[in-house]
Amino acid sequence: MPEAPGAGIVGVAANEPRTALFHVNSQPQVWRAGVTLADAVHDHGADAATVATALNGRFVPRGARASTPLAPGDAVMLFAAIVGG
């Protein structure tokens, strides 16, 4: 017998549809159509000018965030940029 759509998700009843998620610093976030990396930085309350970003393990420059769409299952990392050597 197939599993109900929401089965296995903590806090979701077996008869509820699954919510599409992406993660920011390992914290689940509800995905919505059209969300970009810039939106995720803003929604997380990070200072866009000082935070560095990676999407699924790949660095994304500040100027590319607004044109970088997010998809369900994506993993976003926000971290302090390290300068110097």
Which amino acid is it at 60? V
pTM for the model stands at 0.75
- Is residue 54 included in any domain, yes or no? yes
Q: What is the CATH number of the domain that holds 67?
A: 3.10.20.30
Q: Is residue 12 part of a domain?
A: no
Q: How many residues does the chain have?
A: 85
Rama region for 42: left / alpha / beta (φ>0; ψ in -120 to 50; rest): alpha
- For residue range 12-66, list pLDDT tens digits in order: 455 556 789 999 999 999 999 999 999 999 999 999 999 999 999 999 999 999 9
Asked whether the beta carbons of 16 and 68 are under 8 A apart, the reply is no
Q: What's the number of domains the chain is made of?
A: 1
Please give the structure tokens belonging to residue 28.
Answer: 């689940």
Q: Is residue 69 part of a domain?
A: yes
Q: Is 61 among the domain residues?
A: yes
Report if residue 45 sits inside a domain.
yes
- Cα(85)–Cα(16) distance, integer angstroms: 51
Domain extent at residue 36? 21-80
